[in-house]
Each structure stands twice: as structure tokens, then as C-alpha cells.
């Protein structure tokens, strides 16, 4: 009888697992069968034991095969009491396990559904801004970036920018306020505002100055321009919009505000903490760079047409010489820190010296020490390629020396400047010999009390590469973004400084193309025996020097970073100019 019950239990379990019966039906039919498997403790007969449920065994539907086998098989003794209890417990544990599995599957599916339905957020630059906030700030960034890339701070451009920011709306401005790029721009506006305020003699208002109107839009308090923009509050929308709309007429009545930047210089974006008057201890011209400058950000150089007057000298004699006035005047005359090795690790590595006359010397960038593979093994004049180690930082002029910068030397030395093919002061000076370049470097050294000279050939190539190892800045081919050169029809003039492009990774402009440059080395047809410490080769073909970089009239094949050309030292032509190195002790 027990075998018959066991077969019925197996058949019920198989029917349930194969989907022919539900879990509820399986449990209902299984209960009486389990009761009949339990033998009485006193050895009584099976019939004496009553099932827990009121369902008689005859009502349990059995498969035909099981019934037939039960009819022919002899009856077997029931399982011992302990074994029956164990079997019952095993079956119960199996049911519990199934329930746990069903619960886990259900929980996982619900969790996955909630994850897919939840909105996804992302962070953006500016302190963990949400994706929505970053998207709202992007129109503001698109409006500000052109002014940073091409710093034209004219009244007309400031008015147009101001109107565009107002149209963008307060919500977008507030979204941008938590980003670094927005606050860097605000600092740049604040710095220029300080300079204009020092020169104006009277308080600036949105009616009289487009820069002041822009400052109000950005949230700068005009009554305390030195305070950080984050702690200030813009005017209410209606009053602010009205002030900006009337700024054009006010500017016409008051005349354009004078810029405090002179030729070839720009305002400096101070670190935010240094803008507070209580923390300014000395003029910017006297500040010496230190390791702390690694965290100080300066604006890209703003190059105006050279040859103009120094606006800082035009300040009214009656204007009060306040601390802000003195700082702004010094900043106008000397917009960048003194050259220091610490700047080689700064994001913006500009520095500048002052001449004895107070005029700015050529703008420089600090180049870090390092090593590189110099030359090109594929061409005899550029071979063999060899490892050069430059053990010391040095500074190099950002641009080729301009006509205006060279004219300062000519006037000071009392000599006639060479005739120039172009009349603007911000064009590179050309028609200069190797000796002219040497004389200019010696004069500049005396005027600044620093050591200026022509770069060695190794220093020139190291600076031109700026960490790259290809034949051209972009790799194995030349791009118009790499150089100003004759890509189709031949060009007949270089680019002036006002056309700011073709900077390399170290912020050096026009290292290839535009105007080729004298270097210190004597010419030798190859690098065999060349110094490996970055110094100049002083022995070579008599009277022949090296020029590097090619010029505006050259095609791409002549503008390799490794290309070197021999040129008689007394040559003066339209293609050759000057770029200097300033030594850093």
C-alpha cells in the first residue's frame, strides 16, 4: 500500500512540474497521501490512521499506469515512522525553497523596472551640475567663448553681448554661475572694470559704460567691483534691462571709455582671492612668480594694433591715486607676472619683463625642461635623429618680434630701422640680418636687466614640437590650423598679431609658417657631432647661419618641424624675422 501511495505522490509532483496541475491542486491532493504514509507509533494498521483532510483516497485522481501497477504488485510494509517524517520534511522544505525562488525573481524584476523608469542624471564641469543645468548653461557659454577666443572688448561688441545675455534669460545665467568658465569670465570683466574705473575718475554706470552694463548683467556690484561675483546680486530684471537698453545712448553721450591696455598687452585675470583690496600688497609689476602661481589663471594675450599710446599714461592728473588706481595702472603697464620656473607648470604660462622706459618687453611663455628626439633620419640635412636633453627651463617670445617692438630698439639705439614691406606695427619685423637680431637681443637684455638671446637650434625645435613627435604639429601632414602658409596660391604677406591663430600646445604662435626665424647655430649640413645638451653649435660653414620654421610663402613640404635651412648671416629678406629666448636663472 505504501508503494502505491509513493507512486501517487510522484505522479502528482510530475503533473505539477510539467504544468498539468496548479500548485493549489497539487497541495490539496498531496495532503491525504502524506497522511497515509505515516505509520502508527504502536504498530496499528494503516486503516486506523485518518487523513487530515476529509478527502478520501478514492477521490484522488491517479494516472492509469499507477493504478494498474498498484493492482498487480503485492502490498509492502509501510515506511518506518522516522523515515516518513523525514520525507515529509524534505517535501515541505522543497516547497519553501520554491516560494523563496519565486519571491527573488519577482523582486529582481520589480527593481529592474524601477531602474529603467528612473530619470538619468549626469554631472558637468562646475561642481556637479545636473545634465539639465549644464544644458541650460550651454547657450551662455556659446555667447562668452567667442570673446575669450578673440578678445575684442570694443563698446559695440560689449553692447551686442549684453543684449544677447539678456535675451538668454536669468535662468540660464543662474545655471552658468556655478561653472568655472563663467567665473573666469566674470573675473576678466572685473579686472577690466577696475582699470576703466581708475582711468575714468568718476564712477562708471551702465548708462556711461557698456562694460559696466555687462558687469551688472553678470552680477558684479558696481559699488564694490573688487568683490567676487558670487556674493553680488544683479539688479531686478526690469531695472536691469532698462539700464542696458539705455547704455548705448549713454555711451555716445559720455564718449567711449578708454581701455587701460597698451599696445601688445592685456589685462590679467587675477585669482579671485587677490581681487579684494585688503589683500593687494604691491603692484602687479612688482609681483614675483612663485610655486603658488600653479593655481593662478591668466587670460590669453590680448594683442591690439601696436604703435599706439599707453593708455595708462593718459590718466587724468587730478584722479586720486588710490590703491585700486595704482594696481590697475601697474596692471595696464605690466599685465603678466615676472618670468619664473614655477610658470612652466602653470596652465597659462605667460610672463613679461618691463623695459627701463616702462614699456613692456615682448610677451613670453615659460617652456619646461625636458628631452626629445631631434631631427629626421630620412633626410641627410636633418639626420641623424638624436636624443637631446634640455636641463633648464627657459622662456620664449610668444610671437615673432613685431615692427613696433623693433622700432623701440631703433629709437633707443639712434639707428635707422630697416625698411618694412608692411606698414602696421603688429606685423613681424623682417628684412633683418642675423647680426641685427643679435644687436636687438643685446639691447633688450640691457633694457630689462635680463638675459635675452637667439634660441639654439635644439631649443627652437623642442619648443616648436611642444611634446609632439611627428613631422608636423598634427602628425604626418600639415593642417591650416598648424601654420599660416601658401596652401593654394602663394601668399605675399605674413599674418599680423591681431589674427590670433596657429598656437601650439605651449601657446607659441606661428612657430612654423608666417616668418622664418634666425637661430644661434652656425650651419652644418647634418646633425653629426651636434651637441646633445641643447646648446648651440658654434663651428660650421663660415658666415652661414641656420633659419628654422619656414615662412608664409612656403608650401607645406617646407614647413616640417625638422626642416633647417642655411642662410648667409648678412641676408635681409621679406621672409626672415626674429624670435628670442629669455634665460631663467
Mean pLDDT of 563-569: 98
- SS3 letters for 443-490? HHHHHHCCCEECCCHHHHHHHHHCCCCCCECCECCCCCCCCECCCCCC
d(CA 542, CA 87): 109
- For 197-351, strand residue ranges (E) read 350-351
d(CA 211, CA 257): 9
On whether the CB atoms of residues 470 and 372 are closer than 8 A, the answer is no
Which pLDDT band holds residue 220 (cuts at 50, 70, 90)?
confident
Report the DSSP pairing between strands 576-577 and 516-522.
parallel
Q: How far is CA 18 from the centre of its chain?
A: 63
Question: Who's near 177: CB < 8 A, 6+ residues apart?
Answer: 183, 219, 229, 230
78 pLDDT above the threshold of 70: no
484 pLDDT above the threshold of 60: yes
On whether the CB atoms of residues 418 and 572 are closer than 8 A, the answer is yes
453 pLDDT above the threshold of 60: yes
- Going across the sheet that includes 564-568, the strands are 564-568, 544-548, 516-522, 576-577
- The CA dihedral of 345, 348, 353, 358, to the nearest 10 degrees, is -150
Q: Tell me the pLDDT of the chain averaged across its residues.
A: 73
Q: In the 8-state DSSP scheme, what is residue 246?
A: T
Nearest Cα neighbor of 146 from 262, 300, 361 is 300
Give the number of other CB atoms < 10 A from CB of residue 224: 12
Question: Who's near 528: CB < 8 A, 6+ residues apart?
Answer: 384
d(CA 38, CA 46): 8
pLDDT at 221: 79
- Report the percentage of the chain scoring pLDDT > 70: 64
H or E stretch covering 49: none
- For 440-481, strand residue ranges (E) read 452-453
Mean pLDDT of 161-187: 84
- The CA dihedral of 152, 211, 163, 245, to the nearest 10 degrees, is -140
Model confidence over 280-304: pLDDT tens digits?
232 332 333 333 333 333 455 654 4
Nearest Cα neighbor of 185 from 284, 264, 299, 333 is 299
Choose between 382 and 190: higher pLDDT. Answer: 382
Residue with cell 614647413: 559
On whether the CB atoms of residues 482 and 511 are closer than 8 A, the answer is no
Model confidence over 121-169: pLDDT tens digits?
333 344 455 666 778 888 888 888 887 776 677 788 888 888 888 878 8
Choose between 449 and 77: higher pLDDT. Answer: 449
Cell of 419: 625698411
Question: Who's near 512: CB < 8 A, 6+ residues apart?
Answer: 464, 472, 473, 482, 483, 485, 549, 550, 559, 560, 561
Output the CA–CA distances (angstroms, integers) from residue 505 to 276, 319, 402, 473, in the order listed.
Answer: 32, 42, 22, 9
Residue 536 backbone zone (phi > 0: left; psi -120 to 50: alpha; other: beta): beta
Nearest Cα neighbor of 256 from 219, 201, 210 is 210
Q: In the 8-state DSSP scheme, what is residue 51?
A: P
The pTM of this model reads 0.50
Q: In the 8-state DSSP scheme, what is residue 56?
A: -
Cell of 112: 529592474
Nearest Cα neighbor of 464 from 522, 503, 521 is 503
Is 437 exposed, middle or buried, given 0-12, 13-18 or 19+ CB atoms closer than 10 A? Answer: buried
d(CA 428, CA 184): 31
pLDDT at 81: 53
Provide the CB-side half-sphere exposure for 171 (13 A, CA).
5
538 pLDDT above the threshold of 90: yes
Secondary structure percentages of the chain, helix, strand, coil, to 5: 45, 10, 50
Cell of 171: 535662468
Helix (H, G, I), strand (E, B), or coil: what is residue 582?
strand
Amino acid at each position: 500500500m505504501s508503494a502505491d501511495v509513493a507512486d501517487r505522490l510522484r505522479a502528482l509532483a510530475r503533473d505539477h512540474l510539467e504544468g498539468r496541475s496548479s500548485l493549489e491542486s497539487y497541495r490539496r491532493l498531496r495532503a491525504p497521501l502524506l497522511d497515509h504514509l505515516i505509520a502508527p507509533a504502536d504498530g496499528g494498521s494503516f486503516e486506523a490512521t485518518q487523513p487530515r483532510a476529509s478527502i478520501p483516497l478514492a477521490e484522488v485522481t491517479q494516472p492509469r499506469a499507477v493504478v494498474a501497477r498498484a493492482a498487480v504488485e503485492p502490498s509492502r510494509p509501510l515506511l518506518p515512522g522516522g523515515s516518513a517524517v523525514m520525507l515529509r520534511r524534505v517535501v515541505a522544505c522543497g516547497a519553501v525553497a520554491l516560494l523563496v525562488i519565486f519571491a527573488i525573481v519577482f523582486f529582481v524584476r520589480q527593481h529592474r523596472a524601477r531602474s529603467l523608469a528612473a530619470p538619468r542624471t549626469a554631472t558637468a564641469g562646475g561642481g556637479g551640475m545636473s545634465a539639465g543645468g549644464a544644458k541650460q548653461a550651454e547657450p551662455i557659454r556659446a555667447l562668452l567663448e567667442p570673446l575669450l577666443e578673440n578678445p575684442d572688448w570694443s563698446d559695440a561688441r560689449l553692447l551686442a553681448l549684453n543684449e544677447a545675455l539678456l535675451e538668454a534669460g536669468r535662468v540660464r545665467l543662474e545655471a552658468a554661475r556655478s561653472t568655472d568658465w563663467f567665473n573666469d569670465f566674470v573675473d576678466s570683466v572685473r579686472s577690466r572694470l577696475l582699470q576703466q574705473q581708475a582711468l575714468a575718475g568718476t564712477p562708471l554706470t551702465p548708462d556711461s559704460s557698456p562694460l559696466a552694463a555687462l558687469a551688472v548683467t553678470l552680477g558684479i556690484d558696481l559699488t564694490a567691483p573688487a568683490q567676487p561675483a558670487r556674493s553680488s546680486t544683479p539688479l531686478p530684471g526690469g531695472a536691469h534691462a532698462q539700464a542696458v537698453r539705455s547704455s548705448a545712448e549713454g555711451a555716445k553721450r559720455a564718449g567711449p571709455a578708454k581701455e587701460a591696455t597698451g599696445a601688445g598687452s592685456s589685462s590679467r585675470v587675477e585669482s579671485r582671492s587677490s581681487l579684494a583690496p585688503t589683500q593687494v600688497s604691491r603692484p602687479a609689476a612688482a609681483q614675483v612668480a612663485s610655486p603658488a602661481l600653479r593655481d593662478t589663471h591668466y587670460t590669453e594675450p590680448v594683442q591690439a594694433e601696436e604703435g599706439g599710446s599707453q593708455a595708462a599714461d593718459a590718466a587724468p592728473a587730478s584722479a586720486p591715486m588710490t590703491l585700486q588706481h595704482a594696481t590697475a595702472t601697474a596692471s595696464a603697464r605690466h599685465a603678466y607676472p615676472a618670468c619664473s620656473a614655477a610658470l612652466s607648470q602653470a596652465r597659462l604660462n605667460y610672463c613679461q619683463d618691463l623695459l627701463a622706459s616702462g614699456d613692456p618687453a615682448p610677451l613670453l611663455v615659460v617652456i619646461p625642461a625636458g628631452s626629445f628626439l631631434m631631427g629626421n633620419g630620412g633626410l641627410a640635412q636633418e639626420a641623424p635623429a638624436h636624443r637631446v636633453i634640455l636641463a633648464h627651463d627657459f622662456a620664449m617670445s610668444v610671437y615673432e618680434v613685431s615692427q613696433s617692438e623693433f622700432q623701440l630698439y631703433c629709437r633707443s639705439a639712434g639707428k635707422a630701422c630697416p625698411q618694412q614691406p608692411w606698414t602696421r606695427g603688429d606685423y613681424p619685423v623682417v628684412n633683418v640680418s642675423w647680426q641685427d637680431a643679435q644687436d636687438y637681443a643685446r639691447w633688450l637684455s640691457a633694457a630689462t636687466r635680463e638675459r635675452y638671446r637667439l634660441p639654439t637650434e635644439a631649443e627652437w625645435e623642442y619648443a616648436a614640437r611642444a611634446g609632439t613627435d611627428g613631422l608636423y604639429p598634427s602628425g604626418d601632414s600639415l593642417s591650416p590650423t598648424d601654420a599660416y602658409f601658401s596652401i593654394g596660391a602663394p601668399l605675399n604677406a605674413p599674418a599680423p598679431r591681431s589674427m590670433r591663430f596657429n598656437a601650439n600646445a605651449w601657446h607659441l604662435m606661428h612657430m612654423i609658417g608666417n616668418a622664418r626665424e634666425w637661430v644661434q647655430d652656425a650651419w652644418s649640413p647634418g646633425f653629426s657631432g651636434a651637441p646633445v645638451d641643447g646648446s648651440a653649435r658654434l663651428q660650421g660653414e663660415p658666415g652661414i647661419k641656420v633659419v628654422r620654421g619656414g615662412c608664409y610663402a612656403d608650401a607645406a613640404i617646407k614647413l616640417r618641424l625638422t626642416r633647417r635651412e642655411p642662410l648667409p648671416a648678412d641676408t635681409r629678406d621679406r621672409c626672415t624675422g626674429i624670435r628670442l629666448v629669455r634665460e631663467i636663472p
